[in-house]
Amino acid sequence: MTPASDRSPVVPRAKVSRTDAVYEHLREQLMSGRYAPRARLREDAIAHELQVSRTPVRAALFMLRSDGLIDNDEYGYRVVMPDLHHLTELYELRVTLEMRGVQRVTERELAGYDFALLGAELNRWRDLQQSPPAPTPQFVMDDERFHVTLCRAAGNEALVEALESVNHRIRAVRMYDYVTEDRITATIDEHLEIGDLLITGHLEKAKGALGAHIGDSMDTVIQRATRAITNMVTRGVL
């Protein structure tokens, strides 16, 4: 569990529910390596520690499970260990799937690439560029939506299903990419660059930008997840 020096009551910010406040607090604890991998998370202990009822704790734990940061079995919730062992291979698969989707732009007679779908997604990202969201690991879901849309616009649902499967397997680790403002703004700008290059027919440049974008994300994820694991070691929880 969290060291005694880190314990404090959770006081929600204005317009933030108690559940969201507990969720954000626990998420920060998990992603900073303050819980041991596979450690049990007990509702009653967390509620006592944070001086809240068990109801927001239960809801927050459910949200964290959806994020992939914890899992559960018949005995309750446990912390998921950041898995870096196969991350490089999974990123390679992700790039292969997404590059194939871009390649289908050149096969219009086969695919009928859906530029309207891509254009609608880009409009959403232009809005985000005008008003960037605060850094949060949940931003990974927005990022996944963009990349899945690229594949879906290619007209091959098998590619979409394969990419969604990869995304699910790397989501918990990828959340380490979206905890600073610079990574949020960089992701927004890069998504718009990739999409605009596709729409204007600059396919080779689009492939290059997509590869660089995914590579930068992987480097950031590995660096920050490794730091979290190192933190676990120095705290004596690993």
Could you tell me which residues are beta bridge partners of residue 78? Answer: 40, 71
Per-residue confidence band for 82, with pLDDT thresholds at 50, 70 and 90? low
> What CA–CA distance (Å, rounded) separates 142 from 129?
13
Mean pLDDT of 130-139: 89
Between residues 156 and 225, the one the model is more confident about: 156
- pLDDT for the residue 3: 44
- pLDDT for the residue 4: 41
Per-residue confidence band for 10, with pLDDT thresholds at 50, 70 and 90? low
Mean pLDDT of 200-218: 92
Query: Residue 173: is its pLDDT beyond 70?
Result: yes
| Residue 200, token pair as written in the block | 């204007």
* Element at 124 (helix H, strand E): helix 115-130
pTM of whole model > 0.75?
no
Contact predicate 79/36, CB 8 Å: yes
